[in-house]
Structure 1
Amino acid sequence: MEKNYKKEGRYSFVEIGEGTPMVVLHGLMGGLSNFDGVAEYFSTRGYKVIIPDLPIYTQNILKTNVKSFAKYVKDFITFKGYDRVILLGNSLGGHIALYHTKMYPEKVAGLVITGSSGLYESAMGDSYPKRGDYEYIKSKAEDVFYDPKIATKELIDEVYASVNDRIKLIKTLTIAKSAIRHNMAKDLPKMHVQTCIIWGKNDKVTPPSVAEEFYKLLPNSTLYWIDKCGHAAMMEHPDEFNRLLDEWLTKTHFVPH
């Protein structure tokens, strides 16, 4: 996807395809490449897929919180000149997407969340993290997936480097506290945007009960399950994820133009 990586103004992002804008938000440790499968599939089906690089580790510490990231996404959508978008987020990205939808509902045509934080307080990792302990980081990274082999050495090395970087560690803990502070339970029943919830049945980070709670609280939501799947469904089962999302987009009449 590197060839689709762009810089415009203060924003860096991947952009591929033409048509209805689908803005995709990555999680705390998630790279833009986590969504390669989504980008490749929907960019050939009448969607322009845009994955902004969220300033999780580069923003001022006072702005390292869910609310500020939601505003960043709104500013990005405005900068790109989009009227309304399909907003998709995984993990912390799902939480940011939810908070953005609460604050700026006029910008969101449809919402998609997978393995999202926002309800479950240990979603950010309750024993996070032990610096310098590679085996601990490895086991945490493997826990994200149903199939631990998806946690490649490259991915584990990246997470290990992040938690051994003092500034990144402080910001990670700041974000974790912010995620707990910005619990969405009271907000969700007032949010009427059409919402697609796609969840791994074997998610250890945000367990299946979290998906059921989102489904119960969000008035216009549809819940899909993926079997033998952990916290990052779009990485672990990209074909099934895309099929379910496509089905929902068709069912809810988000026909590309």
Structure 2
Amino acid sequence: MVFLPFEAKKLTENTSINLVNQIEFEDIYTPLSPQPVSTSYVCQGKGNIPILLIHGFDSSLLEFRRLLPILSQQHQTWAIDLLGFGFTKRNSNLLFSPENIKTHLYCTWKNLIEQPVILVGASMGGATAIDFTLTYPDAVKKLVLIDSAGLAAPPKIGKLMFPPLDYLSTAFLRNLTVRQKISESAYYDKRFASKDAQLCAALHLNCERWSQSLISFTKSGGYGSFKEEMVNIKQETLIIWGENDKILGTKDADKFNELIPDSQLIWIPKCGHVPHLEKAELTAEAILN
């Protein structure tokens, strides 16, 4: 353990403990800065076509603690923390914007994998995956979107992110009661919003410059809509959606299916915003099929 050893020792679920203990770091050089970015990742399994898992907003690779072990039984499976998120180091001289996130992800892919992947993006990670696929189509063999962002207009909150409102907003997100309520709303079965789940979702909060990177990302405008560009996605695309998603709702699932030329939509019953956590077996089955 090279980060947060005290908090990580409080984890209780085997999937959480196992994944935390397998996190590795690689110095990734990018065009963004002369200094490398110490990037956190996990890799498990073997197979001809690698799978790359991309987490959601203010999250980390730990959200794939249940899905990754299943997928890795048949494929080499990677989970990578995006620039400005998870346990990846937040260098002080970087802007944490979607454009820079995409550049860092490409450099990480080229350094660690360098072959076409099945790219899986969850929530905000879906928007990242769409952006990456459109820019670097040769790096993506197939695309999987799990309750994905990427159709909404850019949030206007970035215009309000000036002192002291910027730090007040991140202090609000740091509040464990607030995070627990968000966690509960993400699940159909509230029993999944356990103490272990809360800890997994909060371990990265103590990483250096967590607040600053979140403020920087929000000020950049974050991810907007890729509605006009989706017709250019040539990869076979699987859309997985929880039937009871209370975070993004369910209307966008059909919209993604209509906009992406070669796509298929699979609904996960009795499931909220995070099928990869709440119904990991069904989600893995859909991807592997």
TM-score (norm 1): 0.82
Q: 1:53 is matched with which residue: 73, 81, 92?
A: 81
Q: 1:35 is matched with which residue: 64, 71, 91?
A: 64
In the alignment, which residue of structure 2 is the partner of 1:13? Answer: 41
SS at the partner of 2:66? helix
Amino acid of the structure 2 residue aligned with 1:144? A
Identify if the C-alpha distance between structure 1 residues 132 and 15 changes in structure 2 by more than 3 Å, giving closer, same or farther. closer
In the alignment, which residue of structure 1 is the partner of 2:271? Answer: 229
Amino acid of the structure 2 residue aligned with 1:16? Q
Tell me which moved more, 165-174 or 137-146: 165-174
In the alignment, which residue of structure 2 is the partner of 1:23? Answer: 52
Compute the displacement of 1:137 (Å). 3.3
Tell me which moved more, 204-213 or 28-37: 28-37
- Separation of aligned partners in 2, 1:199 and 1:34: 16
Given that 1:13 and 1:50 are in contact with CA atoms closer than 8 Å, whether structure 2 keeps it comes out as yes
Indicate whether 1:199 and 2:241 are aligned. yes
In the alignment, which residue of structure 2 is the partner of 1:250? Answer: none
Indicate whether 1:245 and 2:274 are aligned. no
SS at the partner of 1:198? strand
1:110-159 deviations in whole A, cap 9, x for unaligned?
Answer: 0111021111348999x987367554432222111112221223443565
Q: How many matched pairs?
A: 246
In the alignment, which residue of structure 1 is the partner of 2:3? Answer: none
Tell me which moved more, 48-57 or 166-175: 166-175
Given that 1:120 and 1:210 are in contact with CA atoms closer than 8 Å, whether structure 2 keeps it comes out as no
Alignment of 1:130-145 (within 5 A): 130=172, 134-145=176-187
Amino acid of the structure 2 residue aligned with 1:50? W
Amino acid of the structure 1 residue aligned with 2:121? G
Runs of 4+ in 1 over 6 A off after TM superposition: 122-125, 160-166
Equivalent pairs: percent with the same residue?
25
Q: 1:105 is matched with which residue: 123, 137, 152?
A: 137
1:16-68 deviations in whole A, cap 9, x for unaligned?
Answer: 011221111111233323213322112111x1101112232415575312221
Compute the displacement of 1:80 (Å). 1.8
Amino acid of the structure 1 residue aligned with 2:135? M
Compute the displacement of 1:180 (Å). 5.2
Indicate whether 1:220 and 2:262 are aligned. yes
Identify if the C-alpha distance between structure 1 residues 132 and 118 changes in structure 2 by more than 3 Å, giving closer, same or farther. closer
Given that 2:237 and 2:264 are in contact with CA atoms closer than 8 Å, whether structure 1 keeps it comes out as yes
- Separation of aligned partners in 1, 2:250 and 2:156: 16
Q: 1:44 is matched with which residue: 73, 93, 103?
A: 73
Indicate whether 1:72 and 2:104 are aligned. yes
* Runs of at least 5 residues in structure 2 that lack an aligned partner in the other structure: 1-18, 29-38, 158-168
Compute the displacement of 1:173 (Å). 4.6
Amino acid of the structure 1 residue aligned with 2:51? M
Given that 2:46 and 2:72 are in contact with CA atoms closer than 8 Å, whether structure 1 keeps it comes out as yes
Q: CA RMSD in A?
A: 3.0
1:58-98 deviations in whole A, cap 9, x for unaligned?
Answer: 15575312221112111111112422111111112111111
Amino acid of the structure 1 residue aligned with 2:46? E
- Separation of aligned partners in 2, 1:122 and 1:153: 32
Identify if the C-alpha distance between structure 1 residues 110 and 179 changes in structure 2 by more than 3 Å, giving closer, same or farther. farther
Identify if the C-alpha distance between structure 1 residues 215 and 162 changes in structure 2 by more than 3 Å, giving closer, same or farther. same
Q: 1:183 is matched with which residue: 210, 214, 225?
A: 225
Given that 2:150 and 2:226 are in contact with CA atoms closer than 8 Å, whether structure 1 keeps it comes out as yes
